[in-house]
C-alpha cells in the first residue's frame, strides 16, 4: 500500500505549489522516500517536485491518458516510496471545460486519497470556516482530511481562523506565515522552471522545506496519508503497446481497452537504437514515461542540450524535441550553428512538440533556427491554452489516419505559414506538420496514453541512417526542406 494525500486549494494562487513542494522537501529531509505527482498537464511544477524529492515528477491527467490509467501510473511512479504527495491543479473542482473531469477532486477519487485544502487566509478570518465547509461538503465522496492556512498575518489572525474552523469540525494541519523568501518568479507561461534557476531554486527549496516543517503538523499529515486504503489497480508498465479493439479502435489517448498485441509494437531485431532527447534550460517540458516507453520499445535514450552541445550524440538515429522556452533562449540557440547544422542535415525521424516546433523552424523571432520546417515562428500577444480532442487525418511517422489523440496546447507563439495539410484536426482548430520522417506540432501528447507512438518511433529509427558527418551547415533561408 502507498500512503498518499492530495494537496488542493479553492483556486489558483492560494499557495498549493509552495505547500506541496515544501511538504515533499520536508519529508524527504526526514529520510522518507517521497513520490511526487501533479494533477493535470503542467510541466513546470513537476520540475520543482523532482528537486524536492530526488525522484521524477510525474503527471496524473485523466484527459490525456484516460481514467483507467491514473491509478496504474500513480502506482508505477510511487514504487518503492514511503509516501506520495499529489499536488492539485487550479481549484479543487475545476476540470476540463465546464465539467469536473480531470479535476483535482476527480483524481483524488480515482486514487481514494485524503485531501488537504490549502486556503489563502490573507484577507479573511472567520470566513475561512464557511469557505472550507463549502468545499468539504460539496462532494461527500471525497475523503476530506483537513486544511492548511496560508499567508497568516499574525498570531491573533491564526487564533481567529483556528477557532472558527474548530467550530466547523475541520482539522487545521498547519498555519503558514507570509514569507517572501519562498516566492518563485514568473513570466509569460507561469513559473520559471527549476532547471533555469537551479542555484536560487535550491536555496528557495531549503527555505520552503523549513517553513512547512515549522508551520505544519508533519506527523499528522503522514498519519492522514497512511489512512488511504490499498488501490485495486496494478502498476503501469512501459511494455509493448497493445492494439485497440472494438468501438475504441480509433481512440488513442482516451479511456480505451487494449487487449490484443499491436503488430507495430514488436521489438525490432538488433541492438537498441540511440534516440537523442533535447534537454537543458531551453527544453524542460516532458513526461517521464516517454523515455521509459522508448527504452521498453528498444531504444537507448540519451540527452543533449541544444544550448551547449555542438553535436548530436554519436550514433543518433532519432531526435525528440519536446516543450520548453526556446523563445527565451533564442539568441543562444541560434548561436549554436554547429548543432543547428547537424539537426538540419539529420536524415532520421524527428518528433517535436511546441518548443520543438519552434526550434525546427527556419527562424524564431528573426533569429535563425534549424530550418527543418520552412516556416517562421515568433511571439504573439495572445495565450493559446486548452485541452484538444484531436484526430489524425493522415498517416505520418507516428500517427495513422483516423486515430484519436487527446493533448493540450500551451503557448504564446505562432508559426507562419500554417500547415497546408494539418496532421491533426479538432473542433475549431487544426495543427501539425508531418511526413514519413518528421512530426511537429503545438500539440503536447502524453505517450503513456498512446504507447504505440514509442513503438512506431523506434521502428522508424531502426530504418534510419545514423548521425551524419560533423559540421554540416544549416540550409540557407528559403532552401530548407519543406515538411507541409
Q: Cβ neighbours of residue 332 under 8 Å, at least 6 residues apart?
A: 282, 307
What Rg value do the Cα atoms of the chain yield, rounded?
23
Q: Please, are residues 152 and 121 in contact by the beta-carbon 8 Å criterion? A: yes
3-state secondary structure of 279: coil
- β 83-87/3-8 pair status: parallel
And the C-alpha cell for 11? 483556486
What distance in Å separates the CA atoms of residue 316 and residue 314, rounded to the nearest whole number? 6
Quick one: which of 322, 380, 234 has its CA closest to 47? 322
What distance in Å separates the CA atoms of residue 112 and residue 135, rounded to the nearest whole number? 17
Query: Could you give the count of Cα atoms lying within 13 Å of 271 in the half-sphere of its Cβ?
Result: 7
**CB < 8 Å & 24+ apart, contacts of 157-160:** 157/121, 157/125, 160/125, 160/126
What distance in Å separates the CA atoms of residue 32 and residue 29, rounded to the nearest whole number? 7
Burial class (CB in 10 A: 0-12, 13-18, 19+), 453: buried
354 as an active site residue: the answer is: yes
Count the neighbouring beta carbons within 10 Å of the beta carbon of residue 435: 16
Q: Cβ neighbours of residue 155 under 8 Å, at least 6 residues apart?
A: none
| Bridge partners of residue 5, in order along the sequence | 85
And the C-alpha cell for 168? 466547523
HEC string of 394-440 equals CCCCCCCCCCEEEEEEEEEEEEECCCCCCCEEECCEEECEECCCEEE
* Active-site entry in 161, 216, 354, 370: 354
Catalogue the active-site residues: 354
Amino acid at each position: 500500500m502507498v500512503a498518499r494525500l492530495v494537496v488542493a486549494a479553492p483556486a489558483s494562487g492560494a499557495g498549493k505549489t509552495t505547500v506541496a513542494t515544501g511538504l515533499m522537501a520536508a519529508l524527504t529531509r526526514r529520510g522518507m522516500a517521497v513520490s511526487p505527482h501533479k494533477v493535470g498537464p503542467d510541466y513546470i511544477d513537476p520540475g520543482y517536485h523532482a528537486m524536492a524529492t530526488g525522484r521524477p515528477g510525474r503527471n496524473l491527467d485523466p484527459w490525456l491518458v484516460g481514467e483507467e490509467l491514473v491509478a496504474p501510473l500513480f502506482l508505477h511512479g510511487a514504487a518503492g516510496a514511503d509516501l506520495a504527495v499529489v499536488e492539485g491543479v487550479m481549484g479543487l473542482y475545476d476540470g476540463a471545460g465546464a465539467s469536473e473531469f480531470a479535476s483535482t477532486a476527480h483524481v483524488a477519487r480515482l486514487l481514494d486519497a485524503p485531501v488537504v485544502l490549502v486556503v489563502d487566509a490573507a484577507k479573511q478570518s472567520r470566513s475561512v470556516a464557511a469557505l472550507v465547509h463549502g468545499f468539504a461538503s460539496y462532494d461527500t465522496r471525497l475523503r476530506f482530511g483537513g486544511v492548511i492556512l496560508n499567508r497568516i498575518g499574525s498570531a491573533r489572525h491564526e487564533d481567529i481562523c483556528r477557532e472558527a474552523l474548530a467550530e466547523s469540525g475541520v482539522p487545521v494541519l498547519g498555519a503558514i506565515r507570509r514569507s517572501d523568501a519562498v516566492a518563485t518568479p514568473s513570466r509569460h507561461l507561469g513559473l520559471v522552471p527549476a532547471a533555469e534557476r537551479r542555484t536560487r531554486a535550491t536555496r528557495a527549496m531549503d527555505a520552503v522545506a523549513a517553513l512547512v516543517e515549522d508551520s505544519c503538523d508533519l506527523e499528522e499529515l503522514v498519519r492522514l496519508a497512511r489512512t488511504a486504503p490499498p488501490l485495486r489497480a496494478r502498476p503501469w508498465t512501459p511494455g509493448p503497446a497493445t492494439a485497440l479493439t472494438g468501438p475504441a479502435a480509433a481512440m488513442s489517448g482516451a479511456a480505451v481497452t487494449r487487449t490484443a498485441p499491436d503488430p507495430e509494437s514488436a521489438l525490432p531485431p538488433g541492438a537498441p537504437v540511440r534516440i537523442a532527447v533535447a534537454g537543458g534550460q531551453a527544453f524542460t517540458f516532458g513526461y517521464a514515461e516517454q523515455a521509459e516507453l522508448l527504452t521498453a520499445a528498444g531504444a537507448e535514450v540519451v540527452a543533449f542540450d541544444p544550448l551547449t552541445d555542438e553535436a548530436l550524440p554519436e550514433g543518433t538515429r532519432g531526435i525528440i524535441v519536446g516543450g520548453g522556452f526556446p523563445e527565451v533562449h533564442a539568441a543562444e540557440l541560434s548561436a549554436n550553428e554547429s548543432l543547428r547544422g547537424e539537426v538540419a542535415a539529420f536524415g532520421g525521424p524527428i518528433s517535436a512538440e511546441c518548443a520543438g516546433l519552434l526550434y525546427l523552424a527556419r527562424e524564431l523571432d528573426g533569429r535563425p533556427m534549424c530550418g527543418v520546417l520552412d516556416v517562421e515562428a515568433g511571439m504573439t500577444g495572445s495565450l493559446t491554452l486548452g485541452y484538444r480532442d484531436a484526430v489524425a487525418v493522415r498517416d505520418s511517422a507516428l500517427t495513422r489516419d483516423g486515430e484519436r489523440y487527446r493533448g493540450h496546447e500551451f503557448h504564446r507563439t505562432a508559426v507562419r505559414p500554417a500547415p497546408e495539410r494539418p496532421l491533426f484536426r479538432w473542433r475549431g482548430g487544426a495543427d501539425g506538420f508531418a511526413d514519413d520522417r518528421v512530426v511537429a506540432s503545438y500539440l503536447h501528447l502524453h505517450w503513456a496514453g498512446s504507447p504505440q507512438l514509442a513503438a512506431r518511433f523506434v521502428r522508424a529509427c531502426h530504418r534510419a541512417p545514423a548521425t551524419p558527418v560533423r559540421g554540416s551547415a544549416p540550409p540557407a533561408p528559403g532552401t530548407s526542406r519543406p515538411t507541409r
